[in-house]
């Protein structure tokens, strides 16, 4: 039986305390459910895109097909492919299908528009799945790759050298990509220059991801281990990884900037070339060794030499000297012939021209890199 109390000159029905508590609990539960459903940016965005799709589908029939063509649904689909997780995106696909069906039944969406939207759905789904594997949405994945590219380029820049020494480096990934399988790491403390030119099996983007990983590892080893142990340390690092990822070649240079004494060590890499100003000729070094990551006990035969005033040392990757149907020795001979032009034109200004000249027969077909260190 309802209870009443007298208040302010009138009778007021008393609501039981238990009923008030239950009502408040239900309200809080509904509020929590709504907040949980829209607390993430992904769900809020999915809800907003769903509203846009519904508005387009209805407005195409009841407002204006000119301003709200069903084909405009492509825009929220592309936005969803870029910004939504696959599960939310597929719910959006269902809403688009319902809206298109409604517009088609009302004679506002023809086969051309339906086919275009269907292709966009396939593209958006592939885009969302690829970004979900990376774990980022929107343009964050692209920004990560750009930052990695900038880091590997910065790491590949040769350090400033003291007076009397100059250097030039050119790295060109295959196909005009931003990064490839060739990379350079270097370190200089003002007295000794250490650098390593590395060639990862493959080319272009296919080898670029592994090169990004190895450049950080090899860059950390350079200068942290004795110069004579650098290639062995790199080999041990590769042996800890997957054996089926392909081989890696490298050439390592340790140069005393006070005396000009150098040590070149190779792991399956094309031989470095030493220009001797006294004779005016290029001489191939005899450093040799097994490619990295193949055997547990890496053994190599380094070569020692001296860079005198006017001398230069040239390191390069096989992308400069290899070509289909041509022997690698013929490619080296051609490289040294072209390098003779550097003596008159200048090593610094001619390095990029040398790479361009060597690439001409199979332009951009393989990653290539060139490093020249000379003493003035």
Same domain, 111 and 200: no
Same domain, 108 and 164: no
Same domain, 74 and 191: no
Q: How many domains does the chain have?
A: 2
Highest mean pLDDT out of 38-52, 101-115, 155-169, 253-267: 253-267
Of 97, 95, 130, the closest CA to residue 114 belongs to 97
Question: Which pair of structure tokens corresponds to residue 304?
Answer: 């020692």
pLDDT score of 38: 45
Same domain, 306 and 244: yes
Same domain, 58 and 126: yes
- Beta strand 368-375 with 281-284 is unpaired
Last residue of a domain, one of 107, 138, 169: 138
Distance CA 239, CA 35 (A): 51
Residue 15 lies inside a defined structural domain of this protein: no
pLDDT score of 315: 96
pLDDT digits (tens, 9 = 90+) for 78-93: 888 888 888 888 888 9
Same domain, 225 and 305: yes
pLDDT at position 51 over 60? yes
Last residue of a domain, one of 113, 138, 163: 138
pTM here is 0.69
Same domain, 272 and 193: yes
DSSP state of 163: T
Range of the domain at 282: 150-375
| Mean pLDDT within 324-343 | 85
Same domain, 90 and 35: yes
pLDDT score of 356: 84
Same domain, 208 and 78: no
Question: Which pair of structure tokens corresponds to residue 126?
Answer: 């592939």
Same domain, 245 and 310: yes
Task: Please report, for the domain that includes residue 337, its CATH number.
Answer: 3.60.40.10
Last residue of a domain, one of 75, 107, 138: 138
Same domain, 241 and 109: no
Q: How many helices (H) and strands (E) does the chain have?
A: 10, 14
* Cα dihedral: 80, 84, 86, 87 (round 10): -110
């Amino acid at each position: 039986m309802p209870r009443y109390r007298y208040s302010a000159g009138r009778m007021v029905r008393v609501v039981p305390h238990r009923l008030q508590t239950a009502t408040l609990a239900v309200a809080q539960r509904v509020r929590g459910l709504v907040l949980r459903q829209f607390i993430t940016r992904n769900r809020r965005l999915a809800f907003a895109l769903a509203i846009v799709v519904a508005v387009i589908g209805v407005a195409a029939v009841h407002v204006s097909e000119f301003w709200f063509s069903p084909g405009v649904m492509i825009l929220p689909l592309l936005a969803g492919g870029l910004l939504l997780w696959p599960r939310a995106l597929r719910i959006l696909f269902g809403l688009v299908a319902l809206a298109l069906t409604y517009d088609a039944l009302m004679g506002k969406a023809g086969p051309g528009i339906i086919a275009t939207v269907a292709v966009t759905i396939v593209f958006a789904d592939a885009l969302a799945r690829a970004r979900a594997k990376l774990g980022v949405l929107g343009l964050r994945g692209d920004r990560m790759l750009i930052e990695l590219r900038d880091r590997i380029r910065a790491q590949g820049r040769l350090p400033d050298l003291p007076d009397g020494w100059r250097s030039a480096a050119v790295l060109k990934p295959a196909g005009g990509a931003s990064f490839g399988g060739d990379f350079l790491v270097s370190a200089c403390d003002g007295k000794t220059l250490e650098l390593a030119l590395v060639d990862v099996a493959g080319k272009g983007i296919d080898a670029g991801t592994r090169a990004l990983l190895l450049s950080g590892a090899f860059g950390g080893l350079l200068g942290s281990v004795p110069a004579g142990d650098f290639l062995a340390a790199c080999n041990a690092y590769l042996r800890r990884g997957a054996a089926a990822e392909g081989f890696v070649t490298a050439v390592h240079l340790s140069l005393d900037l006070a005396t000009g004494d150098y040590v070149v060590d190779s792991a399956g890499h094309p031989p470095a070339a030493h220009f001797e100003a006294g004779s005016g000729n290029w001489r191939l070094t005899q450093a040799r060794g097994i490619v990295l990551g193949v055997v547990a006990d890496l053994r190599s035969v380094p070569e020692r030499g001296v860079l005198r005033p006017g001398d230069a040392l040239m390191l390069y990757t096989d992308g400069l000297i290899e070509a289909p149907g041509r022997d690698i020795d013929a490619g080296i001979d051609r490289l040294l012939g072209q390098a003779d032009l550097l003596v008159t034109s200048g090593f610094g200004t001619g390095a990029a021209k040398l790479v361009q000249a060597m690439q001409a027969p199979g332009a951009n077909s393989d990653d290539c890199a060139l490093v020249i260190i000379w003493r003035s």
